[in-house]
Each structure stands twice: as structure tokens, then as C-alpha cells.
Amino acid sequence: MTKGLDSKSSFKKLYTDTYGPLVNFAYSKTNDWELSREIVQNTFVRFWNKRNEINIRTSIKSYLYSMVRNGIIDYYRKNKNTVDLEEIYSTTKIYVEQNEISLNDEDFGFKYDLKRAIANLKEKRRKIFELSKFEGLTYKEIADYLNISERTVEDNIAKAFRDIRKYFISNSLI
């Protein structure tokens, strides 16, 4: 059993103390209050149901923040067909070679080509690239989430940039 959560009253206190900050954290990532509340609520349900199996090495609050972050990632992964990719791409900066390329509303052709270049990446490499560049996760967070080394994450990001650059060069786009 998770230390400090041996009763419903201690869980209720944890819920009361952390629900609001967790929803605010989720909202900072999703910009959707309803979705944020749903993800946090589901997090607490999962946490309560698995409280006897969980072995927390950090603080309970840190663990809950990680669960919420993973819940957001899972939501977008499951619903990626409904996510407005144009919005994601328009607010993200991609670095190709040493030049910063800023995506804005004038770059529709570039966005289309970039989407195709990213879609051509190997599945694992694409996933790592998207978690880093579109979800804003650190290499360590990605490594922990995918159960791989940070070096593997770093290598895949570098190879993703190389592959995207090759795509643009081979299609005479740069």
C-alpha cells in the first residue's frame, strides 16, 4: 500500500489539496478545462484503484503530476486523429540544420511538407520526435515514459532531424 494512503480520509485530503493544482497543470498543457478536469479525475481513480500496487519513490504529489502528464499524452495519442495538427505545427519551432524555421500562417506549403517528412520517419523515431517537439517533454521524461535510455532518445532526435533534412533536400524543398 502507498505510504500515507491507508484510509479514505487521507486520500480525500490528498484529493482536496492537489485537485486544483493538477487541473491547472493539465490546463496549461491542453488549454481545455473540461478535458483537464476529466484527465485529473481519471488519474485519481487509477491512483485509488492501484494504491496497493504502487511503489512511489518520490513524493505522492510528484507521482500524481507524472500520472497527469502521462494521462495527457495518452489522451492525445488515442485521439490524435481529432487533434488539430495545424495548431500544433503553427506554434512549434523546428530546427533544421543550424537555421531556425518558424512556422506561421504564411507557411502552409512548408507545414504540409513538414508533416509528410515527419510521417515518413520510422514509427519509434517519429513518436520520440513528437513527444519532444510537440509535447515538450525532456529527453529524460521521454526515456522514462518509453522505458529507453536518454542516449537512445538523443540519437533518435538527431536522426529525425537528419531524415527531415534529407526529405527536404531530396524533394528540392530547401
Q: How many CA atoms lie within 13 A of 163 on its CB side?
A: 18
How far are the Cα atoms of 65, 73, 102 from residue 24, in angstroms, in the given order? 11, 16, 28
Tally the domains of the chain: 2
Quick one: 93 and 74 in the same domain?
no
**What's the CATH code of the domain at 61?**
1.10.1740
Residue range(s) defining the domain that contains residue 127: 85-170
Report yes or no on 3 lying in a domain: no
Q: Print burial letters for 136-156: b (CB count within 10 Å at least 16), e (below 16).
A: ebebebbbebbeeeeeebeeb
Give the pLDDT score at 37.
92
Threshold 0.95, pTM exceeds = no
pLDDT band at 88 (very low <50, low <70, confident <90, very high): very low
pLDDT tens digits, one per residue of 18-62: 999 999 988 888 888 998 999 999 998 888 888 888 787 778 888
Q: Which of the residue ranges 56-65, 81-90, 124-133 has the most confident prediction, judged by mean pLDDT?
A: 124-133
pLDDT at 7 over 60: yes
Quick one: 93 and 166 in the same domain?
yes
**What's the CATH code of the domain at 165?**
1.10.10.10
Quick one: 127 and 166 in the same domain?
yes
